Amino acid sequence: MVGGPFEGVPLNTEIPGYEVDEEAATPTLRWVGGVPLRQLRGGPLDGARLPMLPAGYEEVPGSATPTAEWTGAELLFERPYRLKHVWPGTTVTYCSACGILSKEREADELWVIVHRRTGTRGHFRVYCKSHLPQQEWQAEKQEVRQPCPVCATLMPLSGVCDYCG
């Protein structure tokens, strides 16, 4: 894209405030404006100004300028999301399982999972493909594991929690 808050970010879809530049040699979205930019507060995009609401942000009603607050409410627990879709500004980071001493990876290679944690809106972990937990979202599995109603960990298919019994 050329100009605006997404300068240089390659995207294949239209977003508010951009139009397709038909004369460009490669598919390009060009900033045309006319859409109010929202000031984002909190979360992974704190301080960014964007023309749309990223997942996990909600409008702040009654503010003088368009503002959105991080809530994380739209992200489902224990489900993988592409890192580039949850935190669009992140280009490289580490896999949580590989650790900070490992090689940084491109955002296209990483996934984010919000794990359930009592008393919070969840705990965010970033995974590479080799460390992505194999759970019920995998297409080849037909059975669905349920979270324990007491401690929120995924129970085995037997339906008896390993921790609570």
DSSP secondary structure letters along 19-56? EE-TTSSS--EEE---SPPEEEESSTTTT-EESS--TT
**pLDDT range class, residue 139, cuts 50, 70, 90:** very low
Query: Edge-to-edge strand order for the sheet containing 38-41?
Result: 49-50, 38-41, 67-70, 57-59
Cβ-based neighbours of 87, under 8 Å, separated by 6 or more: 44, 45, 107, 112
Count CB atoms within 10 A of the CB of residue 49. 15
Is the confidence at residue 1, as pLDDT, over 70? no
Which pLDDT value is given to residue 81?
A: 83
Of residues 9 and 112, which shows the higher confidence score? 112
The rounded distance, in Å, linking the Cα atoms of 91 and 9 is 10
User: What is the average pLDDT across 1-21?
Assistant: 63
% of the chain at pLDDT higher than 70: 74
Which pLDDT value is given to residue 141?
A: 46
Of residues 162 and 106, which shows the higher confidence score? 106
Residues 74-107: tens digit of each pLDDT: 677 888 888 877 776 778 888 989 888 888 999 8
